[in-house]
Amino acid sequence: MPEPLPKAVMRGNQCFVSGPDADRLHQQGAVGTMEKGVLRLSDVEMLHLVEREKIAVYGEQGEALDFPSLLKLLEGYDSEIWLKFLLYSDLRRRGYTVKPGFGPKLEYRVYERGASVGKEPAKYLVYGLVEGKTVKVSEIASISESAKLSKKDLILAVIDRQGEITYYDTTEVSL
């Protein structure tokens, strides 16, 4: 018999894990935020962990919510949840620790592999761009400026029409 998965309860667009699983998930999975022994997971973290079969999510009435039903529920809160999930989980699968960016954009703070999160700052700012949707050159300039101010390397993640992601290290050079 496989061990039962840690149980999370969804409220709004987040979910919560309590008990001994909370701390373990938080430490080992480098996900969520701990508050008074309860682990709070964000929308993309929840989707990622469900897809990787690391947690089981239930609604407040106790109904089990699988990946497809979670995705549809979360789309109601954020219509771009799919792209956010794609980028988040691609970086996680490559072994990075990923934290949300500061804006509502497709943006993550990414820690070097093996970095101790909380003790050192994120090394990269990863910003998603979507094929078919134009971006102003001035927007790239301002993202680059804000990455520079927070001393992070800017990585532009170009997401193609089928969700394939290619990353480009972007540097402002002085020549």
Partner 1 sequence: MMASSLPVATIIGSRIIVLSKTQGAKLYKEGFFGKPVNIHKPKDTEVDAPLELSLFEANYLLEQRRISVESGGRAISLEELAKFSRENFRLFDELYAVYKDLREKGYVVRPGMKFGSDFAVYEYGPGIDHAPFVIHVLPSSAEVDPIEIVRAGRLSHTVRKKFILATLDRSRNKVLYFMFMWWKA
CA angle 66, 30, 10 (to 5 degrees): 30
Q: DSSP readout, 12-45?
A: TTEEEE-SHHHHHHHHHH--SEEETTEEEE-HHH
Handedness of CA 108, 80, 52, 8 (dihedral sign): positive
Which residues in the 110-129 window bind partner 1 by CB under 8 A? Answer: 129
Task: Check: CB of residue 45 under 8 Å from CB of residue 52.
Answer: no
- Fill in the per-residue mask, 86 to 115: x = in contact with partner 1 (CB under 8 A), - = not in contact: ----xx--x-x-------------------
Minimum distance from CB of 173 to partner 1 (Å)?
Answer: 5
Site membership for partner 1, residue 146 (CB under 8 A)? no
Return the number of other C-beta atoms located less than 10 Å from residue 138's C-beta: 8
Site membership for partner 1, residue 33 (CB under 8 A)? no
Task: Check: CB of residue 34 under 8 Å from CB of residue 16.
Answer: no
The only residue of 144, 146, 148, 152 in contact with partner 1, by rule CB under 8 A: 144
Minimum distance from CB of 115 to partner 1 (Å)?
Answer: 15
Choose among 86, 108, 87: nearest CA to 99: 108
Site membership for partner 1, residue 149 (CB under 8 A)? no
Site membership for partner 1, residue 133 (CB under 8 A)? yes
Which residues in the 66-85 window bind partner 1 by CB under 8 A? Answer: none
In the complex with partner 1, the residue whose CB is nearer, 25 or 143, is 143
Residue ranges binding partner 1 (CB under 8 A): 90-91, 94, 96, 129-138, 140-141, 144, 155-156, 158-159, 166-175
